[in-house]
Amino acid sequence: MNNQPIGIFDSGLGGLTVLKEIQRLLPGESIVYYADQAFCPYGNKKPEEIKNRSRKIVEQLINKHQCKLIVVACNTATAYSIQHLRASFQLPFVGMEPAIKPAALQTNSGIIGVLATEGTLKSEKYNNTASTFASERQVVIQEGRGLVELVENNCFQGKKASELLEKYLRPMLNQGADHIVLGCTHYPFYKKQIEKIVGKNVLVIDPAPAVARRTKQLLEEKKMLCAKKNPVIHFLSSEQPDAAIRQKALELLNAI
């Protein structure tokens, strides 16, 4: 048994969608969650800047909080930094990846939609995944401009969000997409709204459950599982005091 916490980081609070799945699957694990809100969003940042930010955050999670495994709960950070992180630090990392493979395997129409950030859609990792698993499928991509910021400001259930989602999803549906892949950890906050727009015949895929399963698998393989009766969840931010970020994080967790 290993009592050290799991570390999770994201550009902001989108990674809470991953944290919730990890909590559900591993209820005895303590977690340290870092929201890099001072640099949010990552989607429009340069790759080298994202890599440097990711390294600094991981150093803090390891050196100050003794995390035993790090979840990079951001598609853009995963795309540009996870190889560097794995080469630099001697502990397990779990990253995000748009769930193109299951969508490509399950689609009946042969058309899938991917809603993601600019950084993710431009990344080599995304394009390699798409070419490997969906080369015989039509992939309709859409950058979700403004969606991250609405979550960060707890405005993701308002009129502005509905208008943006309708604008981004309608072209995918018009082209016949029967699967919508959520390529940013902020986007599952909109899942109910998305499902209402796309209807019952379109499957919306959130990668967070798969990330939680991979986290559990790695901890089992390395014999690092913990089963505390009262695990601690510690919230950190590069912008807000601990008390403020904790309150905001808990509010958003309850809204998922």
Q: Which residues are catalytic?
A: 74, 184
Q: Which of 163, 167, 165 is nearest to 184 (CA)?
A: 165
Residue pair 9/36 in contact (Cβ under 8 Å)? The answer is yes
**Spatial separation of the C-alpha atoms in residues 62 and 253, rounded to whole Å:** 24
Give the burial class of 139: count Cβ atoms within 10 A of its Cβ; 0-12 exposed, 13-18 middle, 19 or more buried.
buried
Q: Which of 220, 208, 199, 239 is nearest to 23 (CA)?
A: 208
